[in-house]
Structure 1
Amino acid sequence: MNRSKAILVSLRLANSFLSTRVCSTSRPLRSQVTMFSHSSLSSLSNQSYSSHLIPTHQKLYFSSMPNSVVELVLANEWSIELEKELDDSHPAWNHETVIFVLKKLDKDPEKASDFFNWVCEKDGFRHSSSLYSIMLRILADKETMKQFWVTLRKMKQEGFYLDEETYFTISGKFKKEKMASDVAALSHFYNRMIQENAMDKVVGSVVDVILGSVWNDNVEKQLGELNVVFSDNVVIRVLKELRSYPSKAASFFRCVGKYPGYEHNTVTYNAIARVLCQHDSIEEFWSVIEEMKGADHDMDIDTYIKISRQFQKNKMMEDAVKLYELMMDGPFKPSVQDCSMLLRSISANDNPNLDLVFRVAKKYESTGHTLSKAIYDGIHRSLTSAGRFNEAEKIVNVMQNAGYEPDNITYSQVVFGLCKARRLEPKTKGPTSPHLPHYLLSKSDT
């Protein structure tokens, strides 16, 4: 590894020299941003990896409705006029849209709070504990503590609860910011809420019955004898208690969906999806997702982020890519950062699945986006890690045509790939190794 570090230093020195030259001779960016064509991505993703990447004409990108709402809120001070414009642009608000907008506004707590308070007053809009949890995480900041406590009390008054995960996340943030009085106040509020919340007993009795034996008709009979009036709040809390028992969670979800007067909705579908995204229940997960789509419900962006990270952590990359494609086909599209993180996770495998890499890139491009430097880096990282240096060079050529020059990230990925492939000569001292890709050799000889 010492040799690889030395080579990386040499490459960076070469890059530093080149940067000086580029500054004096750089050409303007092309007026039309170069993109991959679907055919060229497909040809690179097949077994031969032999085709060249072909630049294509520019695509136009049209903002989806949720993004246009975010842009509208960020561009204007909150006012009656803004509220009217929001009403005109989107007369009906659902759970998924509000979650998406709040996640996009998380760096602007004041505007997030204004939007949240306004939309919660809309006729027909159904609140949920998950919405309040997101809003509280956004407001957990020294500058917005007044809004935080007002929102927390409002949450309690409306019969929702502060879940354990949100409590510990916010408490940890307060401790990090040395907000000792707020840590103590939040702890007092949370413990008192648990003591006063009669729903805890209801949820506890339901969970005890479910965990008491293997799921069967007798379990369903015992649940019926409890005479519980199931609400979204109760169902969500039971599912959270069953997160270590995904099979039983799925059985409960199916059972309660048959109760007279109760019907699953977006909130409960998202809740069960978070429980089922595990190796042992992945078939049930996709079954629920299909059922969810058939019922005209969407996965919200917060649920997507959590499930995608869980898939990536558990090395379930095929499922992570399939879910990414599903979300990109819907109204609540993941961000470029989510795409870049997914590509990085794929490349971290010992033998990166290049088909998955190009599926992600193609899906990102198909929605009208141009590939950013971060996306090119993600593709290049997997190719070099897989020892596909010729294909990596083609990616760099296309990247350059799009106006992005190779940099230290590009070079370090090549060095890592060469080290991994054991293709460094023992006497290699710098960037003139015959094993380096052509674009690095030509640069170092300049």
Structure 2
Amino acid sequence: MRINSNLSFQSLARSYHATAGLLFAHGKSSRHSTRDIASSPPPSLYQKIKEIVSADDPFAADGLAAATSIPATAQPSPSPTISIHFPTSKEASSRCAPDVCLNASIGNHRPELANIEEISSVVHKVTEIIRANSTVILMEEHLEEMGVSFTPEIVENALKRCFKFGKLAIRFFEWVKHQPRFCHTTEIYNTVIYIACEAGEFGMVEKLMEEMDANLCAKDVKTWTILISGHGKAKKIGKALWAFEEMRRSGCDPDAAAYEAILQALFTARKAELAFEFYKEMVLKKMKVDIKIYSLLMDCLSTAGYIEKARSVGEDMIKIAQLTEAETYSSMLRSFCVSAKVVDACEIFGEMQKKSLCSDLKVYEVLVKGLCRASRMDEAMQVVNDMKPDLDPGGVIYGCLIDGFFRSGQACKALELFSRMRELGCLPKVSSYTQVLQHLFVSGKYSEACELYEEMLQEGVGADVVAITAVVSGHVQNNNISEAWRVFEDMKHRGMRPTRKMYSVFIKELCKTSRATEALRLLNEMSSSKIHVSDYILCLVRNSIARNGEHKKARIVEEEYVCQLAEHQPDLEGHEASSPIDAFDEDEVKELCKILTSSAKGDALHEKLDKIDLVFSPVLVKEAMRRCQRHGRAALEFFSWVGKQPSYCHSSETYNMAIKIAGSGKDFKHMRNLYQEMRRNRCNVTPNTWTIMISQYGQTGLTELALKTFKEMKIEGFKPNGSTFKYMIIFLSGKKGRRMEEAIQIFQEMLPSGYMPDKEMVDIFLSSLCESGRFVEARKAVKSLCKRGFQSQLGYSLK
């Protein structure tokens, strides 16, 4: 076929004009031009696409390159708009070639169906047979016994109703094509291709495409759109791009739905630059761009750092989509906050203030939430303080601030703000109550937490499952088991179903307090509710029973549940947000560790991480990294990846773990960069952070750097803790890089600070003093230690 040579992206490099004019044909260039930023030009868009396609399928890449030499033909007619999520068109079917249908027409004596009601009844019966999948009588035999003539309408509608039963639906499709006088239509192929894509059966998809060609069944724009969408959802971006080009080569002119499908695929793969080029083509073809596409494109560009391009999309939203300035600026603000570009978000907010576009409380909520996620609490508080008098921050904005203070380790400020908002007559959200309750329980303020919970209920704030989980856990931790059961049962009486997370937390706390019988009761209830019991929870209960001396009962429990665990029954509760009490379970950690300990690196690792469906919390991230310390590079890549997720913010503990892993790998430059990043993000730096860096230097014999870091720590205003003193003295007393003068000074500083050394440190320190001939200092050290409680026998080690 021929494509008009005038249709090309003039905004791309000349090499792209020469070799891939066919690939993304469109009218005159837009105002978005590509600039040369170096003496050697960057790879063209065509080259980038070819690299992506080659990674998925080298043969597809060859086909893509070959497209440039195809002769031109007439322009195809436009195709109707379709839904890419499921084929629902009622248009006339494109039948197979007449000779194919004729050859299949012999021997049919079945009655024809005349009216809509009869057809609907047959479709319903066929659907029941497919879904039943009887093991006694084959599906095919059931269908034969119906004795009806299958029409394309019946087959298409039956397949649509069975799209979740992928393999069974495909079996029906294969069976019916062998029936007399029946021939599959384009619409039927479209439906079954969609089903195969949803089931991940891409080998079957290729077979179906080949079968359409063999049967001379025409592929329409809908066929290609379904193919693009299916590959895009599976993150096979190369295949999706190849399908888009094949659609053009086949004579189908992509419509808005096809462009939306390829854009969705590029958004999923985070290919912001390619997505922007396809978007520009849509604009030049004067296609209507859905508001959702504008928003997703802006998110994708913002995440990739293309702020100017994101702003240009905003301009198009005003000029082309006819959105108001307030709507457009609010959308840009949200995108910048979600992608953690808070500096750019603040600039947009400043422009909105100048244009008087900040009358909506939602604008402040978005900005405050973005600043809190970035741990920029001072700026967030300033935004709230500067709000117009007629705007009330309300529970949502105050809730964002409280969450931000807790996340950044500033619990005192969170509690202060919580009290202040109540004094102002602002009713906190249930999430804020939950966070404060959890903090009070953990801090040992049990009575205060109980009073607050009762006050919450009296104020009419309905406790959700997460809040009740926090309260139940708090009661168990404080040995008030009867009250925990009362709250738990009261929740069920109010019609709320306990989730897997709640059962897991309750069972864990009961096992910690040796309440094995009650933990087993919960385990049985969990199983009867058809909620998956993880092997971790089972082990907790079994071990708790065994610790009570009931070993036989423990074995029976294990045997009873082993079959259930092997089947991995689905969790009917679905995926839920992390509880503040128990941010992860063993299954989630194992899933992450399996990925981090695999051989995947770089983009391959990111692709695997993108596919998992987990709600990340700092506790989950820290635990996964702790277990994968030997796979340091993967753990640090994961740390970097998860930090860019829109709904996640690193804590001090996750930074400390990353610093430890970087130092263990002797990547001290990266270790220091992580510390600087921690400070830039205003994450709470603690003495433990400094101690970790000091220990990493000391373990490799770099005592000079360890000592320098120790001094720097004190200059920065941080007080060394017991671990800091211990490691400094051990490292300075070691044979490699021994510096006993400094070790003695630090030892003399340690005791007045209120920290007592342990036996390991004392043994190493005294031995090093004796080896260095410093017997006077050694005896002085022994006397000091004996005065502070060490046994008098300590002195015999010097004799």
TM-score by length of 1: 0.44
Larger Rg: 2
Which of the pair has the greater relative contact order for Cα pairs under 8 Å at 6+ separation?
1
